[in-house]
A and B are shown apart, each in its own frame.
Chain A
Amino acid sequence: MPDGSLGAAVLRIEGVTKRFGGLVAVDNMSFELSKNEVLGLIGPNGSGKTTMLNMISGALKPTAGAILLHGKDISTAPASEIAALGIARTFQIVRMLPSLTVLENVAAGGVFGHSRRWGRELDDYARDLLQRVGLRGADDASVAALTYIDQKRVELARALASDPEVVLLDEWLAGLNPTELRTGIALIEQIRADSRTIVIVEHVMDAIRSLCDRCVVMNSGMKIAEGTPRSVLADAEVIRAYLGDADA
């Protein structure tokens, strides 16, 4: 679905701005996501990608603009409500629930969100998800005992536990070694195969090229390019944003 022309937009960002006092972190951003699309939100450090993601998930409220999920404005809704509407996320810095077991960490995502389970059904579902992300048999382990990649797997499984329609992955592939990266990319492919719509904020260019249907490039809070990974990565302004003037 490279051109994103399939049906109506699942998620539409309309002129969204976020100001922190005098700092404009996100400046009049607009883009949209079609069903089952993988959109890469890229740009140099500090360009406002995570802030943008935080506004979609409800962690932050936009100063101006609208965020529409199937045409309904969710820009002022609390994060818990947005989760229940079917938008799940992972965090840039992994957030585990340290006093809960691995299985409970995953189950946490499946009780109050978009799709709700409880009791044995929830356990089975969470166990199944753990297996899918490649963590079989770690159910009762403490999350503190897991490696970094395994914690990332747990967080992904937690996000998937609510059977979300839209998944927001904030640098989920960062910090992985080349083998883990291949596994990680395969996992995201799999999530897309479950007919979910995905936004990834990412710096790993290999991942962007192989996963994304479309990229939106941000710099200083503004959108500077949009298109296929190939075209935006060749764009002069994008190269300037990443590497500075001398190399453009």
Chain B
Amino acid sequence: MSGAGEQRTVPPMQSLRAALVLSRREQISVIVAVLLIGAAALLPVFGKAYWLSIGISVAMFTVLATSWTLFSGPTKYIALSTAAFFGIGMYVVGAGLPYMPFAVLVVLAAVAGALLAAVVGLATLRISGVYFVIFTLGLAELVRQIVAWAQHVMGTSSGLYVLISISDSVMYWLLLGLAAMVYLVGWFIGRSRLGFALRIIGNDEVVAVHCGINTARAKVILFVVSCTFASITGALVAPRWSYVEPSIAFSPFLSFEVVIMALLGGVHRLWGPLVGVIPFTLLWEFISAKFPTQTTILLGACFLLIVYFIPRGVVGLLEDLMRGHVGGLGSVKGLFQRGKTDNA
């Protein structure tokens, strides 16, 4: 602290090296993560077809819920736009398959998702609280209507055939690889200045700007990262539906499922959503088999129960139990109390 001084910046290499130095605990976490992913990769070898299909759902929702948490966890902005980006990924694959190889389309889907996220992010991340929630919910519907309208204008049928044979095993491995990528990206962001900036923003945006953080830029970057993963997921699972139409690809149901799973698991740890995804997928499998017509009301009930009884998710609950107290900061209720834009 030697007086008011010259501007200093951290050389990028130095910060990169700092990010790669791991503590003992982190080394153990990395080894455990690699072993778990390795074990999960063996499912197609040993599991039956039924379990493989559940495995695909789990992997898909793991990617969606974890990437959702990358943005919504620290910023506390509840985004209901997963379906919009997921649907775009699906449609890029559906529309492009006759002309291009699958791998190219997955990349195109990622680019399309990233571009839309950047535009939407720049336009909406200045609004917060409930306005942001409503906007993102409306976004999926808007994109769906545009796609439906475009198809009508072009005189094609309302849907698209996704005719490509990708075995369930391959799709599962692709999704698992994508999940590993989400974790890797999330882990890097968590250790980076961007991650720190987002935690500050989530706590108090006024303090954040006065600390020198360009809050709009930080939020847009994270929103783009988060939504790009949703688009890639949509692209990868498109072949699972041999016929895609707007109401399937842009189902708002999906957005809600993702939010519920993430909240059930816990949004303040990178691996939190996974803890929500596994039980919820299994439960959902059961519910949609037994009560196919009551799924919506049961989804709503689940949402209420989670927000009221385990506001910090299963992970938060476990941590509280271990620490011997319940409740505390960063609860889901806090997520809904945003948007009171108080002045300094």
Contact = CB atoms under 8 A, between A and B. Distances in A.
B344 A80 contact: no
B3 interface: yes
**Most B CB atoms within 10 A — which of A54, A108, A196?**
A108
Contacts of B96: none
Given A54-B343, A160-B1, A118 B193 contact: yes
A230 interface: no
Contact of A144 (B5, B210, B329): B329
Interface of B: 1-10, 14-15, 18, 193, 196-197, 199-200, 202-204, 206-215, 268, 329-330, 343-344
Given A97-B200, A99-B203, A111-B197, A83 B8 contact: no
B203 A80 contact: no
A224 B223 CA distance: 49
Contacts of B14: 118-119
Contacts of A88: 210
Contact of A91 (B2, B3, B213, B344): B344
Interface of A: 50, 54, 57-60, 78-81, 83-84, 86, 88-89, 91-92, 95-100, 104, 107-109, 111-121, 125, 128-129, 132, 144, 158, 160, 162-166, 170, 194-197
Contacts of B207: 91, 95, 97, 108, 158
Given A54-B344, A112-B193, A97 B204 contact: yes
Given A83-B209, A99-B199, A196-B3, A116 B9 contact: yes
A108 B206 contact: no
Contacts of B5: 115, 163
Contact of A111 (B6, B206, B211): B211
B204 A194 contact: no
B114 to A, nearest CB: 24
A119 B330 CA distance: 25
Contacts of B199: 97, 99-100, 104
Contacts of A158: 207, 211
B15 A80 contact: no
A86 B193 CA distance: 19
| Interface SS majority for chain B | loop
26 contacts: A57-B344, A59-B344, A60-B343, A78-B209, A80-B210, A80-B211, A80-B213, A83-B211, A89-B210, A91-B207, A96-B204, A98-B203, A99-B203, A99-B268, A104-B196, A104-B199, A107-B196, A108-B200, A108-B207, A111-B197, A111-B212, A113-B211, A114-B212, A116-B7, A163-B4, A194-B3
A109 B213 CA distance: 9
A120 B18 contact: yes
Q: 7 closest pairs, A vs B, by CB? A: A113-B212, A119-B18, A165-B4, A83-B212, A112-B212, A97-B203, A79-B209
Nearest to B330: A99
Nearest to B207: A95
A230 B212 CA distance: 37
A59 B206 CA distance: 8
B247 to A, nearest CB: 40
A80 B204 contact: no
Contacts of B330: 99
Given A88-B210, A194-B1, A111 B344 contact: no
A195 B6 CA distance: 13
B7 to A, nearest CB: 6
Contacts of A107: 196
Given A86-B4, A115-B7, A79 B210 contact: yes
Contacts of B1: 125, 128-129, 132, 160, 163, 194
A197 B4 contact: yes
A197 B343 CA distance: 25
A120 B15 CA distance: 10
A117 B8 contact: yes
B4 A164 contact: yes
Nearest to A110: B211
**Most B CB atoms within 10 A — which of A79, A84, A194, A196?**
A79
B10 A196 contact: no
A81 B4 CA distance: 17
A59 B204 CA distance: 13
Contact of A57 (B197, B210, B329): B210
A207 B7 CA distance: 31
Contacts of A100: 199-200, 203
B215 A80 contact: yes
Given A54-B344, A144-B329, A108 B211 contact: yes
Given A83-B212, A162-B211, 20 more contacts: A58-B209, A59-B206, A60-B343, A79-B209, A80-B212, A88-B210, A99-B202, A107-B196, A108-B200, A111-B193, A115-B5, A116-B10, A117-B10, A119-B15, A121-B10, A160-B1, A164-B4, A194-B2, A194-B4, A195-B3
Contacts of B3: 194-196
B200 A118 contact: no
Contacts of A95: 204, 206-207, 344
B197 A112 contact: yes
